[in-house]
Every structure is written in structure tokens, then in C-alpha cells.
């Protein structure tokens, strides 16, 4: 059964993305200095810092019949932990993801489950009607339906 996700309407998601980029930049610099200030490794340092802070889940975005549909693969994340923010041109999906090992008698040799901040922003090619955006969550996948704003639709000749 699908759960409805609440949608938060906001004017801009730039404050969210800037704050995250600042955290990544500071961490990339820390990595740079801890590795002996070796020049030419800035991209590797940035990517390592980004992996430490952000989980960017896989998405699928398509448009059909005047509506965008966005699917986000977030297995293991509860619907109650997902925040959805929309502007007229952007969709932001975020959550704090925590993976902890259960008390067991054996040893964990490999664990690729993500922990940290799930953060995925999508910039849309056309403005959407933020008052009509709907989001459902089923089987570890939020699905957002966002109608294209009327003024952005194709105008019929008179």
C-alpha cells in the first residue's frame, strides 16, 4: 500500500545546496591537508568528501501528458524520514539515513548500506504548479507527480 508523503513548498532550495557544498568544500580541504597538501588531487578530494556527506540515490524523471513524474530509489528508508521540498523549478528529496549493525555473534565483512544525508535535487526544464504536486511512497520508492504550470504549457492557436 502506498503512503502519501507531505510536500513542503518553498521559494528556493539554493540555501540547502549552498550549505551542503560548503560542508563538502571544508571536508575536501581537510582531506587535502591530511594527505600532505598534494596538488593535483582536488577532484579526488572533493569526490571523497561528497561520498562522506551525501547519498545521491538513483532517479528516473520523465514527462508525459503535461506532468513530470520523478521516481527515486531509496530502499531501506522509511517514508516518515523523507522530506520533499518543491519550488516552481526544482524538486529536493532529502533524509537522514542511518544504518547500524544489529548485535550479532558473527563478524560483518562487507557493508555497502548508505548512512548519512540522502540529498537529491532535480532542476526541471519547465515550471510546475507547486500546489498540485503529489508524492506517494511504495516499496522503497517515492514517486512525485508534478503538473507543468499552465503558463508553461503549449498554447493553442485561436
* 158 inside domain: no
Q: Average pLDDT for residues 51-59, to the nearest whole number?
A: 82
Mean pLDDT of the chain: 84
pLDDT beyond 70 at 108:
yes
Asked whether residue 156 is assigned to any structural domain, the reply reads: no
Bridging pattern class, strands 7-9 and 83-86: parallel
Is 20 part of any domain?
A: yes
Is 122 inside a domain boundary? yes
- Look at residue 114 and tell me whether its pLDDT is greater than 70: no
CATH of the domain at 52: 2.60.40.790
Average of per-residue pLDDT across 98-105 = 73
**Domains identified in the chain, total number:** 1
**DSSP-based three-state secondary structure for 98:** coil
Residues 90, 37: Cα–Cα separation, whole Å: 37
Q: Quote the pLDDT of residue 155.
A: 55
| pLDDT value at residue 158 | 57
CA dist 117 and 103 (Å) reads: 24
139 within a domain of the structure (yes/no): yes
Query: Which pLDDT belongs to residue 3?
Result: 86
Position 82 scores a pLDDT of 92
Condensed to tens digits (0 to 9), the pLDDT of residues 61-99 reads 999 999 999 999 988 888 899 999 999 999 999 888 877
Model pLDDT, residue 40: 83
Where in the sequence is the domain holding 64, given as residue range(s)?
3-151
Label residue 151 left, alpha or beta by phi (over 0 means left) and psi (-120 to 50 means alpha). alpha
Amino acid at each position: 500500500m502506498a503512503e502519501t508523503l507531505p510536500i513542503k513548498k518553498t521559494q528556493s532550495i539554493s540555501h540547502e545546496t549552498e550549505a551542503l557544498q560548503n560542508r563538502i568544500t571544508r571536508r575536501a580541504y581537510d582531506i587535502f591537508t591530511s594527505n600532505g597538501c598534494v596538488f593535483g588531487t582536488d577532484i579526488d578530494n572533493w569526490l571523497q568528501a561528497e561520498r562522506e556527506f551525501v547519498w545521491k540515490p538513483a532517479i528516473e524523471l520523465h514527462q508525459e501528458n503535461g506532468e513530470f513524474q520523478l521516481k527515486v530509489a531509496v530502499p531501506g528508508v522509511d517514508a516518515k524520514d523523507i522530506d520533499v521540498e518543491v519550488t516552481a523549478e526544482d524538486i529536493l528529496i532529502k533524509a537522514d539515513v542511518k544504518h547500524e549493525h544489529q548485535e550479532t555473534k558473527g563478524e560483518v565483512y562487507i557493508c555497502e548500506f548508505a548512512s548519512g544525508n540522502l540529498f537529491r535535487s532535480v532542476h526541471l526544464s519547465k515550471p510546475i504548479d507547486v500546489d498540485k504536486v503529489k508524492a506517494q511512497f511504495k516499496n522503497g520508492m517515492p514517486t512525485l507527480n508534478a503538473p507543468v504550470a499552465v503558463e508553461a504549457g503549449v498554447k493553442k492557436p485561436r
